[in-house]
A and B are shown apart, each in its own frame.
Chain A
Amino acid sequence: MKTDNKLKGRDLINVGIYGAIYFVILFAVAMLGMIPIFLPLLSVLVPILGGIPFMLFLTKVKKPGMIFIFAMIMGILMLLTGMGPWPLLTCAVAGLLAELCFKSGAYKSAKKAVLSYGLFSMWIFGNYLPLFTDYEGYFAQRADYGEAYISAVQKLMPLWMAPVLLIACFVCGILGGLLGRALLKKHFEKAGLA
């Protein structure tokens, strides 16, 4: 039936529930970014930890649009928490790719789910974009963090790190997806949630 594909209240509420869990984890981990060494590591930690709620979320996704909305909500929240408009853009692209990928697996393929989370995780790159598009300006703005912080970050984040971070997001997204699946099997299925 055609109407079955329309998003209903319950689907949107599910987006909200899992989005909230994902965002709380994201925000907690992002605090670590204040330590210079953790700034590039965010592209490793966030995808891996976020994989747990996201894989749980994917078990509820049966209709087109949910992953894209999830991604856009993340983008809006990043805008509201001061990461600027860049994440909105990457969220739209990554969300769309993840959506198409999971759709090609008819919304049930486990392998496609992991791959889809890998693609979705690439939105995190949007948080780094202001650093790379305006290298000088970014550090000028953060001058009050002190010399030590800035030189440490500059050492850790040369321009060639940009593609590395993007790939790291994707690869760790896959790892996070696998971790999420493992936990899903071990815990959530037992608890009757997945």
Chain B
Amino acid sequence: MAYSSERSQEARRGFLDPRTKLALVLILALFVMGGLGGEALRSIKTVLSALPFALLLVERQGKRFLRGVLMLAVGYGLLFALPYLPGVLNFIALMCGGILTRFVVTVVMGEYLIASTSVSEFISAMERLHMPQAVTIPMSVMFRLFPTIGAEWRSIRRAMRMRGIHLGGAKGTQVLEYQLVPMMTSTVRIGEELSASALTRGLGGPVRRTNICRIGFRAQDCVLLAGCLFVIAVWILEICGVALW
């Protein structure tokens, strides 16, 4: 099995340490999505927005990369076409374009985080950060479940569509009951099985768990963490009124 030897662990090791990934997510969330910082950070923000895409390429996640680029292209295309569109279409274009361009960076970063981090790596990183279990366990369960919920949701929607239950369909009003409820039921079932398996392997036990995952900071982590510190430094300087350029 892939998990059995130290060497195969080394081969599976991601490009970045999970802690670096978390720091990047936080910086992206605060500065790109949350809009902290003003003019001085504008060019930095562009670099930051490109970062998740570059990381996906490094991890050889070509499909996800292309999907992200496509979303971005469609979003900007719509915003660009905005002035030429009539009333209602204009509105729809603004909405879709706004959603795509605004959320795409977070979505891509989230995808990168989930696709490139195994739950063990995540837990081991959180342990080294001395996070309490009350945070670590729910968070790792959530990260594990998001893709599952997505898959369940898609197949339930497909099944219900066959029975004419979808938004805009003949029984559109029943969407809530016949799509949401089964989605939750199956997610909870899956979750319970997961929880049984995790408990068997000693998650949440009184003793500190050991972990075979190799994590640790390497050169690329140091560079990116230094980048994060740099962004924060520029931001603080800007608040203090020091103009860098």
Closest-by-CB residue of A relative to B189 is A193
Give the residues from 154 to 199 in chain B that come closer than 8 angstroms, CB to CB, to chain A. Answer: 176-177, 180-181, 183-185, 187-189, 191-192, 194-195, 198-199
A19→B98 contact, CB < 8 A: no
> Hey, what's the 0/1 contact readout for B200-218 against A, CB within 8 Å counting as 1?
0001110000000000000
The binding surface of chain B is classed by DSSP as helix
Known: A80-B26, A81-B33. A9 touches B139 (CB 8 A): no
Question: Which stretch of B10-18, B141-149, B236-244 is in the interface?
Answer: B141-149
A13→B30 contact, CB < 8 A: no
Q: Interface residues of B toward A: which range? A: 35 or more
B138→A56 contact, CB < 8 A: no
Which chain B positions have C-beta within 8 A of A35?
Answer: 95
B181→A187 contact, CB < 8 A: yes
Question: Which stretch of B59-67, B129-137, B227-235 is in the interface?
Answer: B129-137
Which chain A positions have C-beta within 8 A of B82?
Answer: 146
A24→B203 contact, CB < 8 A: no
Closest-CB distance, B58 to chain A (whole angstroms): 21
Which chain A positions have C-beta within 8 A of B140?
Answer: 16
B94 at the interface (CB under 8 A from A): yes
The binding surface of chain A is classed by DSSP as helix
Known: A19-B138, A76-B135, A146-B94. A9 touches B199 (CB 8 A): yes
> Hey, what's the 0/1 contact readout for A1-32 against B, CB within 8 Å counting as 1?
00000011110111111111101110000010
Closest 8 CB pairs of A and B: A9-B204, A82-B33, A16-B141, A17-B191, A16-B138, A12-B137, A20-B145, A13-B195
The residues of A with any CB-CB pair to B shorter than 8 Å are 7-10, 12-21, 23-25, 31, 34-35, 49, 52-53, 56, 65, 69-70, 72-73, 76-77, 79-84, 141, 145-146, 148-149, 183, 187-188, 191, 193
